[in-house]
C-alpha cells in the first residue's frame, strides 16, 4: 500500500467519526430522530479496513451497528442522514431507520437488527455469485453476540461445505448489550477458532489497527474471489458509547478504567501514530478533514430536515420501488 492509500483509510475513519459524533449530538439535543441508533464510535477501523479491501461489485451486509459499514462501502451520506430523520429521501425511504440501511448502487446490500439475520443472506449472495461464476465476494458484519445464534453456525457450515466466496466479519467489541463475552462463552474458546472447526480459514486481528485489518481483509477477500472458500475475521474492538443511543455509559456494567483504556487505543490515533514517520503532516490533514466533513454532514442534516416525511397513506407500499434520487454526496 502506498502512503496515499494508507492516508485514505485514515480519512475514511475521520469521515465516519465526524458523521457519527455530529449525529449523536443532534440525536440527543433535538429529539427529532426517532429511530433506535447504534453508533460505531471507536470501532471505525473494522468497517474501513475491511470495506477498502472490497471491489465495487462485492456486496456488504451488516447488523444493527450499520452506519460505519454503510459509509465505508460508499453508501450515500445524505441518504443515511435522511433515513435517521425518517424522511422520504432516506436510503430506505424513511421506512427503515438506522438499523435498515441499504444502498445497492454502492454494494451495500442491507442491514438488519435481528441478531444473525444477515449472515445467511450474505451466504445466499455468495452462493449466487458462485453459481454464476462471477468473481464477486459477499461480506457480512456482525457482533460477538450474533456468533451465539444458531444461524451463524448453519451459515458457516454451508459456506465451508460449498467453498463459497464469503467473508464473515465479526466485530468483537467484547459486549452483547451489557453482558461481557466471559459471561456468555466458555473460557478458553474463541469465535475464530470455532470457524476453524468448520474447516474454513479464520484469523483474529487487532480491530483498532486499520492497517492490520485491511491486510487481513485483502487476503481473505482475494482468496474468496479466487475460489478458495470462506474466511472468518474476528476483529477485537470496543464501542465508546452506550449499546444503543448517543451517550457515553462508563461506570455501570463496564468500568471507567476499562473504557478509558480503549479510548487510549483510538483507531484514528493509532493509524496517525503509525503514519507520522512517513508523513509528518498527518495531524494537519486530520484537522482539515474534520473541517471538511463537519461541513458535509451539516449540509446533509439541512437537506434531511427540509425533506418530506413519507406520505402516511403510502407507508405500507412501495417497498420494492427504487427511492427517489436524493441530492447526493456519493464518493465512489
Ligand atoms: C435474535 C435476537 N435476539 C436478541 C436481540 C436483542 N439484541 C439487540 S442487539 C443485541 C446485542 C448484540 O450484540 P453483538 O452481536 O455483540 O453486537 P453489538 O451490539 O455489540 O455490536 C441483542 C441481544 C435481537 N435483536 N435479536
Residue 34 has pLDDT above 60, yes or no: yes
Would you say residue 225 has pLDDT above 60?
yes
Cell numbers at residue 227, please?
475460489
What pLDDT, on the 0 to 100 scale, is given for residue 316?
78
Helix (H) / strand (E) containing 216: helix 210-225
Residue to probe by mutation, ligand 1, list 176, 180, 184, 191, most atoms within 8 Å of CB: 176
Between CA 148 and CA 156 the distance in angstroms is: 12
Structure confidence by residue, pLDDT tens digits, 3-20: 999 999 999 999 999 999
Question: In angstroms, rounded to a whole number, what is the distance separating the alpha carbons of residues 313 and 311?
Answer: 5
Tell me if 16 sits within 8 A of 48, measured CB to CB.
Answer: yes
| Mutate-to-test residue for ligand 1 from 43, 177, 236, highest number of ligand atoms within 8 A of CB | 177
Q: Which domains does the chain have, with CATH numbers?
A: 35-73+99-276 (3.40.50.970)
C-alpha cell at 112: 438488519
Q: How far is the CA of 200 from the centre of ligand 1 (A)?
A: 25
pLDDT in tens, 105-154: 999 999 999 999 999 999 999 999 999 999 999 999 999 999 999 999 99
DSSP state of 327: P
- Identify the three-state secondary structure at position 97: coil
179-205 mean pLDDT: 97
What is the pLDDT at residue 331?
43
Residue 329, SS3 per DSSP: coil
The residue among 178, 214, 193, 151 whose CA lies nearest residue 13 is: 214
Under 8 Å between Cβ of 70 and 105 = no
Sequential DSSP letters for 262-305: HHHT-HHHHHHHHHTTT-TTHHHHHHHHHHHHHHHHHHHHHHHH
Q: What angle do CA 33, 25, 112 make, to 5 degrees?
A: 45
pLDDT at 190: 96
Question: Is 45:209 a contact under the CB 8 Å cutoff?
Answer: yes
Task: Choose among 230, 223, 267, 208: nearest CA to 53.
Answer: 223
Closest C-alpha to 235, from 154, 177, 174, 183: 174
pLDDT at 85 over 70: yes
pTM value is: 0.95
Cα–ligand 1 centroid distance for 35 (angstroms): 16
Burial status of residue 99 (CB atoms within 10 A of its CB: 0-12, 13-18, 19 or more): buried
Ligand 1 atom closest to the Cα of residue 115 is: 26
Return the residue matching grid coordinates 433535538. Answer: 30
The ligand 1 atom nearest the CA atom of 176:
13
Cα–ligand 1 centroid distance for 96 (angstroms): 17
Rounded Cα distance, 292 and 294, in Å: 6
Bridge partners of residue 236, in order along the sequence: 172, 206
Which range is least confidently modeled, 25-39, 240-254, 312-326?
312-326
- In the predicted model, is pLDDT for residue 332 greater than 70? no
CB distance 170 to 145 below 8 Å: no
List the grid coordinates of 91.
436510503
Question: Looking at residue 315, what is its pLDDT?
Answer: 83
Query: What ligand 1 atom has the least distance to the C-alpha of 171?
Result: 21
List pLDDT tens digits, range 284-330: 999 999 999 999 999 999 999 999 999 988 887 765 665 544 444 44
- In the structure grid, which three cell numbers stand for residue 213, read together? 485489518
Identify the residue whose C-alpha is closest to ligand 1 atom 25. Answer: 114
Res 258 pLDDT > 50: yes
Residues 259 and 241: beta-carbon distance below 8 Å:
no
pLDDT at position 240 is 98
Report the Cα 184 to chain-centroid distance in Å. 23
Average pLDDT over residues 246-275: 98
Residue 318 has a pLDDT of: 64
Gap from CA of 316 to ligand 1 centroid (Å) = 26
Q: Is residue 8 within 8 Å of residue 52, measured between CB atoms?
A: yes
Residue-level pLDDT at 325: 40
Percent of all residues in the chain with a pLDDT value above 70, rounded to a whole number:
95
> What pLDDT sits at residue 320?
61
As for ligand 1, residues whose beta carbon falls within 6 Å of it are 38, 64-65, 113-115, 142-146, 173, 175-177, 243
The whole-number pLDDT of residue 314 equals 86
CA pair distance 178, 174, nearest whole angstrom:
10
Q: What is the pLDDT of residues 112-125, one digit of tens each?
A: 999 999 999 999 99
Which ligand 1 atom sits closest to the C-alpha of 65? 21
C-alpha span between 20 and 67 (Å, rounded): 8
Average per-residue pLDDT in the chain? 95
Amino acid at each position: 500500500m502506498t502512503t496515499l492509500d494508507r492516508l485514505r483509510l485514515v480519512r475514511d475513519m475521520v469521515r465516519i467519526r465526524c458523521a457519527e459524533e455530529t449525529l449523536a449530538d443532534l440525536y440527543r439535543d433535538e429529539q427529532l430522530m426517532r429511530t433506535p441508533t447504534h453508533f460505531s464510535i471507536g470501532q471505525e477501523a473494522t468497517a474501513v479496513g475491511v470495506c477498502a479491501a472490497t471491489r465495487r461489485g462485492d456486496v456488504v451486509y451488516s447488523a444493527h451497528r450499520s452506519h460505519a459499514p454503510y459509509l465505508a462501502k460508499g453508501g450515500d451520506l445524505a441518504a443515511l442522514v435522511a433515513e435517521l430523520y425518517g424522511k422520504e429521501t432516506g436510503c430506505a425511504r424513511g421506512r427503515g431507520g438506522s438499523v435498515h440501511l441499504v444502498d445497492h448502487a454502492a454494494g451495500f446490500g442491507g442491514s438488519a437488527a435481528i441478531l444473525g439475520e444477515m449472515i445467511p443472506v450474505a451466504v445466499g449472495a455468495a452462493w449466487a455469485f458462485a453459481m454464476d461464476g462471477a468473481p464477486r465476494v459477499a461480506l457480512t458484519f456482525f457482533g460477538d453476540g450474533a456468533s451465539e445464534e444458531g444461524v451463524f453456525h448453519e451459515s458457516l457450515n454451508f459456506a465451508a461445505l460449498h467453498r463459497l466466496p464469503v467473508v464473515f466479519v465479526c466485530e468483537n467489541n467484547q459486549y452483547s448489550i451489557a453482558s461481557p463475552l466471559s459471561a456468555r462463552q466458555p473460557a478458553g474458546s474463541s469465535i475464530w477458532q470455532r470457524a476453524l472447526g468448520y474447516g474454513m480459514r479464520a484469523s483474529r486481528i487487532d480491530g483498532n489497527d486499520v492497517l492490520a485489518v485491511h491486510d487481513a481483509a485483502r487476503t481473505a477477500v482475494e482468496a474468496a474471489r479466487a475460489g478458495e472458500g470462506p474466511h472468518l475475521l474476528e476483529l477485537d474492538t470496543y464501542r465508546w458509547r452506550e449499546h444503543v443511543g448517543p451517550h457515553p455509559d462508563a461506570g455501570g456494567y463496564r468500568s471507567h478504567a476499562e473504557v478509558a483504556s480503549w479510548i487510549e487505543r483510538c483507531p484514528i490515533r493509532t493509524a496517525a501514530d503509525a503514519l507520522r514517520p512517513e508523513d509528518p503532516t498527518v495531524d494537519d490533514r486530520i484537522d482539515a478533514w474534520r473541517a471538511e466533513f463537519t461541513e458535509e454532514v451539516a449540509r446533509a442534516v439541512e437537506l434531511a430536515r427540509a425533506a418530506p416525511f413519507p406520505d402516511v397513506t403510502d407507508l405500507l407500499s412501495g417497498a420494492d420501488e427504487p427511492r427517489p434520487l436524493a441530492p447526493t454526496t456519493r464518493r465512489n
